[in-house]
C-alpha cells in the first residue's frame, strides 16, 4: 500500500492500521522526511519512506518506478496528501494559492491514480487493486467562511472518485473515498486556536473524531472485505 502524505496525521494512522492488517506500506512524504522515517522505523514489516511532491509529475513517476524495483507490484493506493491552502473567507483566496492547492489536492491524486492504475489493471497484466481517496465532509458542507477553496478541491476529488470507479471497475480496480469530518489532527493548526472545541457541539455525536477512526474505514475499503464496493463514499464525521 502506498500512502501519500503518510508521515503524520491521518496518513500515519492509515499506515499503522494497514501494517496491523498485514500490509507492507510505502510512506510518501514531501517535506516531513524525519517524521516519515521515524514512522517507518516504528512500522517495520518491510515498510519504506519515499520522498516526492505529488504535484510534480516527474517525481511521481520516479516514486512509482522505485516501488516497482523494490516490491514489483502495488495493491493499494491511498491518496491522502493534501494541503489546507490557508484559512479564511473568499477575500483570502489568491491565484497563487489556488494553483498550488489544486495541484496538490487534485492534480497529485490524479497523477498517483494514473500510475497506480497502470500497474493494477488486469487488462495490462496487473492483479487488480484498490484506490482510496481521502476527501472531506467539507466537499458536501462547503467550508463557508473558512475553507471554501479547500472544500472545492475535495469536491473535485469526489467527482474523480465517481468517474474513475466507473472507468476502472471492468479492469479489477476499485475506487472509493473516505470523507473525514472534524478530526483531531494538525489540520486545525491552520485555524484560530480552539477550533476543535468550538466545533464539537455542532456534531451530532458531540465530539471530534480521531485519525484512527478514519484509518479503520480506509483500510476496510482497501481490503478484500470491500470487494464489491466501488464508487462509494464513507463519511467518518460523527453524523454531521
Q: Which residues are catalytic?
A: 150
Instruction: Give the integer Cα–Cα distance in Å for 156 and 138.
Output: 12
Nearest one of 40, 44, 20, 17 to 29, comparing CA atoms: 40
Instruction: Give the integer Cα–Cα distance in Å for 36 and 27.
Output: 6
Amino acid at each position: 500500500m502506498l500512502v501519500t502524505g503518510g508521515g503524520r496525521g491521518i496518513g500515519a494512522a492509515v499506515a499503522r492500521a494497514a501494517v496491523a492488517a498485514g500490509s507492507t506500506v510505502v510512506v510518501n512524504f514531501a517535506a516531513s522526511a524525519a517524521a516519515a522515517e521515524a514512522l517507518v522505523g516504528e512500522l517495520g514489516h518491510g515498510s519504506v519512506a519515499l520522498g516526492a511532491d505529488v504535484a510534480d509529475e516527474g517525481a511521481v513517476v520516479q516514486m512509482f518506478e522505485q516501488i516497482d524495483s523494490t516490491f514489483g507490484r502495488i495493491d493499494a493506493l491511498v491518496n491522502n496528501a493534501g494541503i489546507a491552502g490557508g484559512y479564511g473567507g473568499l477575500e483570502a483566496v489568491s491565484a497563487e494559492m489556488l494553483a498550488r492547492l489544486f495541484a496538490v489536492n487534485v492534480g497529485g491524486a490524479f497523477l498517483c491514480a494514473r500510475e497506480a492504475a497502470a500497474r493494477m489493471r488486469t487488462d495490462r497484466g496487473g492483479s487488480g487493486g484498490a484506490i482510496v481517496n481521502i476527501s472531506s465532509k467539507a466537499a458536501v458542507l462547503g467550508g463557508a467562511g473558512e475553507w471554501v477553496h479547500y472544500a472545492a478541491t475535495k469536491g473535485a476529488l469526489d467527482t474523480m472518485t465517481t468517474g474513475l470507479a466507473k472507468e476502472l471497475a471492468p479492469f479489477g480496480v476499485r475506487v472509493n473515498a473516505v470523507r473525514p469530518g472534524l478530526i483531531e489532527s494538525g489540520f486545525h493548526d491552520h485555524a484560530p486556536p480552539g477550533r476543535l472545541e468550538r466545533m464539537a457541539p455542532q456534531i451530532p455525536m458531540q465530539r471530534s473524531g480521531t485519525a484512527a477512526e478514519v484509518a479503520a474505514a480506509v483500510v476496510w475499503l482497501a481490503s478484500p472485505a470491500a470487494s464489491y464496493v466501488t464508487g462509494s463514499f464513507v463519511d467518518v464525521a460523527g453524523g454531521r
